[in-house]
Amino acid sequence: MAGPGTDRMTAVDRREAIVLAAAPLFAAKGFDAVTTREVAEAAGVSEALLYRHFDNKAALYEAIQNSCILQATADAARIESLPDSTATLVLAAYLIMENLRSLLTDGEFARGFVSHTSAKWIAKIERCIRAGIAAGEIEETLEHAMSSAWFSHHIACAMVFYRLPGESVVDYPGGNDPERLLEVSVKFVLKGLGLTSKAIASYYQPQTFALLRTAPPSD
């Protein structure tokens, strides 16, 4: 059922609002289990209006995937605009882990996401690792750190896999709070990359990182 003010939104804004409302439903229940009626209710619109913006559920799902890829592309552009440094490497690790943590629980989605985004990150990460080694803030070789960068990708994918049923199959010590798990996983990755404890303490600022999502990219 359409809510108050539904007609005041532009078509573009309404489409984006539907995508934002649908994403957590697909993430929690998977593609097959979600109905267009549920999506319409979550978005505060009628099913008829939903179908004015999307031909079918598959089209909506594709729009969600494209939205995630655009977000990752914007993150990559933001990282590219920053200096090659340990601080930038820490931010990159956070954003990659945060993006993968948010992936819909579907193998096809994950494959598309990784294939569209990994190439945008890897060259910048290598330069930042080289800068970190030169600054004495990374205590591993370039080869070791680059392998760890890919391992961090695999760790995030594994965390998504363990939540395939919609509820984690692993009882993590301290609970399954997403923000806490993100922090633990990012710090684990940074240690694997060879960052010193001092560098992690200096550069890992998750509250500041989160604010970057609402800031425009640097020119």
- Mean local confidence (pLDDT), 161-187: 74
User: 143 pLDDT exceeds 70?
Assistant: yes
Please tell me the number of Cα atoms within 13 Å of 51 on its side-chain side: 7
44, 83: one domain:
no
Please check whether residue 62 lies inside any domain of the structure.
no
Tokens of 121: 């990150």
Q: Residues for the chain: how many in total? A: 219
- Mean local confidence (pLDDT), 155-172: 68
Report pLDDT for 195: 97
pLDDT digits (tens, 9 = 90+) for 121-140: 888 999 999 999 999 999 99
Please check whether residue 97 lies inside any domain of the structure.
yes
Please check whether residue 67 lies inside any domain of the structure.
no
User: 96 pLDDT exceeds 80?
Assistant: no
Report pLDDT for 29: 73
Domain span at 44: 6-54
pLDDT digits (tens, 9 = 90+) for 32-78: 888 999 999 999 999 999 999 999 998 998 888 788 777 777 888 88
Query: Using CA atoms, how far apart are residues 185 and 162, in angstroms rounded to an integer?
Result: 14
Its pTM stands at 0.64
Q: State which amino acid sits at residue 27.
A: A
165, 135: one domain:
yes
117, 45: one domain:
no
